[in-house]
Amino acid sequence: MNRPAILALEDGSVFHGTAIGADGQTSGEVVFNTAMTGYQEILTDPSYARQIVTLTYPHIGNTGVNAEDVESGAIAAAGLVIRDLPLLASSFRSEQSLSDYLKGQNVLGIADIDTRRLTRLLRDKGAQNGAILAGVEAEGDDAVERALAAARAFPGLKGMDLAKVVSCQSPHDWNEGEWALGQGYADAGAAERPYHVVAYDFGAKRNILRMLASRGCRLTVVPAQTPADEVLAMAPDGIFLSNGPGDPEPCDYAIKAIEAFLETEIPLFGICLGHQLLALASGAATVKMGHGHHGANHPVQDLDSGKVMITSQNHGFAADEMSLPATLRATHRSLFDGTLQGIERTDRPAFSFQGHPEASPGPRDMSPLFDRFVTMMKERR
C-alpha cells in the first residue's frame, strides 16, 4: 500500500497519492460522482468508458466487491480516484477487496488525495482530460512531466464514438431477472414473457435488462451497429435503446436505424445515450456539458405532474431543449441546472429518459418508466 501514484490534469493540476490498483499509466476524461454507495456498479458501468471516475464520498471499499454487483463483464472506467481506501472490508457478501479487484482487471486507482479540491476544480472548470501514473511509472524526476503530457495527449470525448467499442459482438437472448436477497437473480426465462423486445447494446447496464425481463419482456440484445431491417425482421413488440459512453453525434449507424423505426408504430424506449440518439434521430441537437451529471442524488421534475424525483445520473452530453422540433416535447428537466432529462414524440409511441432509472443501487423513483414501455406494447397489441 505504499506504491506511489500521480494524477495530473490538463490544466496543470497535479495530485500525489497512493496506488491502489494496477501499476502503469492510463488517461481519460476526469469526472466526479457524488453517489455514496455503488462503487462496484459505477466501475462496471460501460457508460464510464474512457473516463477516470472521482468518488466524492471519502471512504470507498468498505464493503469489498462480489460477483453479483456488476453491470457488465468487466470494469469499464479508465481509472478510479478516491480519498481513502479502508484496510478492512465489512460485508457478508464481500468476496474480494476493492484493491485486489482493480489489480485483477489491470485498472489503475489512486487514493490519499484531496478529492474535495479535485471536485472543486472539476466543478468550476468542467471535466478535465487527465492521466494516472501508478507504481514504477510514478517514480523518477520526470514523472510529473510524463503525467501532464499523457493528460494533455488525451483527445477528449467530444467526437468519440464509443458505443460500438463497448457493445456486444453478436445478438443474444437475455433471461436474467431482478435480484433478491438470499435468492440471487431471478430466472426470467421460466416466467411468461409475452413481449418481444429488441434491445440495442450501446453499453447496456445489466440491471436495465433485468428490469425489462422481470416485466414480461423476452429480450434479444443486438450489437450497436445492427441495421434496422435486421431488427424489424425479428418482429419486435418494442425496441429499447440502451445507455452508453461517448458522444452520440458520431453514432450515425444508430441514428439511421432509429429514423427507420420512427417510420413504424413500434414502441421505442431510450435511456441515457439512447435518449440522446432518439433526440438526434428526431431532428434535435446534443451538446457537451461542462462537468456532466454523475451521482445518485439528482432531482428531476416531471413537467406534466410537477412531481420531483431523485434520480441516478451518468452522462456528459445532453439533448438541447432549445433545438426540439415540433414532433418532440420535453417531459422531464433537471432541477440542478435545468437541462433536459426526458422527451417523447408527439406523433409516435416513442419516449426516453436521460438518467438511469434502474439505479441499482440507488433511487427507484423513475422505475415506472419501464411499466410505461410495457403498457405501450400492450396497447399496440
Report strand pairing: 286-302 vs 308-319.
Answer: antiparallel
**Residue in 291, 293, 298, 356 annotated catalytic:** 356
**Residue in 29, 249, 272, 321 annotated catalytic:** 272
Q: What is the dihedral of CA 133, 38, 211, 49, to 10 degrees?
A: -10
- The question of whether 358 is a catalytic residue gets the answer yes
Q: Which residues contact 66 (CB under 8 A, 6 or more apart)?
A: 40, 91, 93, 94, 95, 96
- The question of whether 217 is a catalytic residue gets the answer no
- The question of whether 272 is a catalytic residue gets the answer yes
**In three state form, how does the secondary structure of 311-379 look?**
EEEEEEEEECHHHCCCCEEEEEEECCCCCEEEEEECCCCEEEECCCCCCCCCCCCCCHHHHHHHHHHHH
Write out the three cell numbers for 321.
Answer: 431543449
Report strand pairing: 79-81 vs 4-9.
Answer: unpaired
**Residue in 10, 71, 249, 358 annotated catalytic:** 358
Report strand pairing: 350-353 vs 268-271.
Answer: parallel
Write out the three cell numbers for 312.
Answer: 441516478
Rounded to a whole number, what is the distance in angstroms from the first to the last CA of the chain? 59
Its sign, for the CA torsion 221, 223, 228, 234, is negative
Beta bridge partners of residue 53, listed in sequence order: 31, 80
Q: What is the set of active-site residues?
A: 272, 356, 358
